[in-house]
Homo-oligomer: A and B are copies of this chain.
Amino acid sequence: MAGSASASTRGGETREQILAAAERLFAERGVAAVSNRQVSEAAGQANNYAVGYHFGSKTELVLAVVRKHDQSVELRRAEAVAATRGSERVRDWVHCLVRPTIDYLAALEPPTWLARFLAQAMTEPSLRAPILAANDGSPTLREVRAALTRLLPMQPEEVRDERSAMARHLLVHMCAERERALHEGGETPRATWEATGTGLIDAITAVFLAPATPVPPRGRGPSDGSPRRRRAR
């Protein structure tokens, strides 16, 4: 395997081309539907084993793409967290969850593939775990989670975890959906990434702040908040 030629060595450039090609192809067709050969060829390599040589396996290729972008997002998130530290507003911390990703997407020059790529990669059963692990390692994300825990002290842990997962799903899949619409030239619900981010912050803030219907530990509870209804027919 090639050493991680970080800079503009010969191999480093090839690596970049492979990463770019992989990101695009995986975003368009799904990770499993694209062979390493196709990635190698799309990257302009005559050697059909180029991916194997530079990355070892498809899993490591995908992780390399993820890491490449994660780095930049993590930086932006660190900035956002620094500016938010001390705030008592849930919305401010949700902002830290959403804006870094959105701003990074907006900063990439179109056409972008990242959002769709991430949605694909996160859904692939064999890739889900390692990618989420990388997420768990982010210190900034950890700080945001801690802040939300502090601001929502009455909320059962299970509810907060559940809602964190919801926030993640919304961010990933709504961005992917917008990116897809953008690419296909169709209509996008929002005119800009900026506006999409605002919509996501509105929604995710509402999710975290929503009153949680208490669920009885076991057995039927007094009510689950559903309307009057019992046998309609």
Contacts and interface: CB of A to CB of B under 8 A. Distances in A.
A31 to B, nearest CB: 8
Interface residues of A, number: 63
The interface residues of chain A, by DSSP majority, are classed as helix
A143 interface: no
Q: With a 10 A CB-CB cut-off, give which of A31, A197, A209, A215 has the most chain B CB atoms.
A: A215
A203 B202 CA distance: 12
Interface in A54-87: 79-80, 82-84, 87
Contacts of A198: 213, 215, 224-225
A25 B147 CA distance: 40
A214 to B, nearest CB: 9
Contacts of A182: none
B95 A159 contact: no
Contacts of A202: 210-213, 225
A174 B163 contact: no
Q: With a 10 A CB-CB cut-off, give which of A79, A89, A213 has the most chain B CB atoms.
A: A213
Interface of A: 28-33, 79-80, 82-84, 87, 89, 91-92, 95, 99, 119-120, 123-126, 158-159, 161-163, 165-166, 169-170, 173-174, 177, 189-191, 194-195, 197-199, 201-203, 205-207, 209-213, 215, 218, 224-227, 229, 232-233
Given A30-B123, A87-B227, A95-B227, 18 more contacts: A28-B125, A30-B124, A79-B232, A79-B233, A84-B227, A91-B227, A123-B123, A159-B189, A159-B199, A162-B189, A162-B190, A162-B199, A165-B177, A166-B174, A198-B225, A199-B212, A205-B210, A206-B206
18 contacts: A30-B125, A33-B126, A82-B232, A83-B232, A84-B229, A89-B227, A99-B226, A163-B203, A165-B189, A166-B170, A169-B170, A170-B170, A198-B225, A199-B213, A201-B225, A202-B210, A202-B225, A203-B207
Interface pairs A-B: 3 shortest CB-CB:
A206-B210, A32-B32, A83-B232
